[in-house]
């Protein structure tokens, strides 16, 4: 946010002061007839089509849609101005990030989300706890983490926990020991890429080439 925008927000006494776009203040064909529309509305006539038929003989040359939109605004109850909620992708990014990398605004918005959604609050705690185990090599905490996950009503994490539990020893070793299979996986991906470049993606055409090659 630029300093000019901050100054504009700080100096605004009413919400109308913020409406300074290129379309604001442009005259409308309906402007001259709005007092008449307001009087008819106050008299109890809320039928936009009927009022449109009344102002056409008076010189109104605009469309019926403008009258209908004006009456629709009158029907809408005034409500408090609230900030647009963050998207699921944004919230997921906040949860998966290291807490110290979030800005103060992001911290506050995530806190508001967690307050209004106990499931997301529990999920955030479990994700951050697992992230700490992963980055600080605390594999010995995995059984405790699995027990904590099962105590919350989070089906998605329950599926993950069940998969981890089937290979618990290997996961604990991966979260504890300094060795990694990343280099091996990199070589495997490189070999697969070379095979796709030479023969294309897997299919009957590739199978036929292999049969001809080794026959």
pLDDT score at 22: 45
The single residue listed with the structure tokens 């109890």 is: 44
The single residue listed with the structure tokens 């506050």 is: 108
pLDDT score at 156: 86
pLDDT score at 123: 93
CA–CA distance, 86 with 118 (Å, rounded to integer): 17
Give the CA count within 13 Å in the CB-facing half-sphere of 184.
3
C-alpha to C-alpha distances, 161 to 125, 132, 144, 149, 168, nearest whole angstrom: 15, 17, 11, 7, 10
Burial category of 67 from C-beta neighbours within 10 Å (exposed 0-12, middle 13-18, buried 19 and up): buried
Q: Which residues contact 172 (CB under 8 A, 6 or more apart)?
A: 139, 140, 142
* pLDDT one-digit tens code per residue, 170-207: 899 988 988 877 778 888 888 888 887 876 666 666 66
Divide the 215 residues of the chain into consecutive groups of 10 and give the mean pLDDT of each group. Answer: 78 65 62 89 89 91 88 75 78 92 89 90 94 91 93 89 91 87 83 80 65 63
CB 9 within 8 A of CB 18: yes
């Amino acid at each position: 946010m630029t300093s000019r925008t901050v100054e504009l927000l700080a100096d605004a006494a009413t919400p109308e002061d913020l409406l300074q776009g290129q379309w604001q203040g442009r005259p409308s064909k309906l402007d001259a007839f709005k007092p008449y529309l307001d009087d008819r509305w106050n008299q109890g006539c809320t039928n936009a089509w009927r009022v449109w038929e009344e102002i056409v003989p008076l010189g109104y040359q605009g469309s019926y849609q403008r009258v209908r939109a004006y009456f629709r605004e009158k029907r809408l109850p005034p409500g408090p101005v609230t900030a647009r909620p963050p998207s699921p992708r944004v919230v997921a990014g906040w949860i998966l990030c290291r807490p110290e990398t979030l800005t103060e605004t992001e911290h506050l918005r995530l806190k508001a989300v967690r307050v209004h959604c106990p499931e997301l609050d529990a999920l955030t705690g479990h994700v951050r706890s697992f992230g700490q185990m992963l980055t600080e090599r605390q594999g010995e905490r995995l059984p405790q983490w699995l027990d904590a996950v099962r105590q919350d009503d989070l089906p998605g994490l329950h599926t993950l926990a069940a998969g981890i539990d089937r290979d618990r020893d290997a996961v604990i070793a991966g979260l504890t020991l300094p060795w990694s299979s990343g280099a091996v996986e990199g070589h495997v991906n490189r070999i697969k890429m070379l095979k796709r470049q030479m023969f294309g993606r897997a299919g009957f055409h590739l199978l036929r080439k292999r049969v001809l090659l080794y026959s």
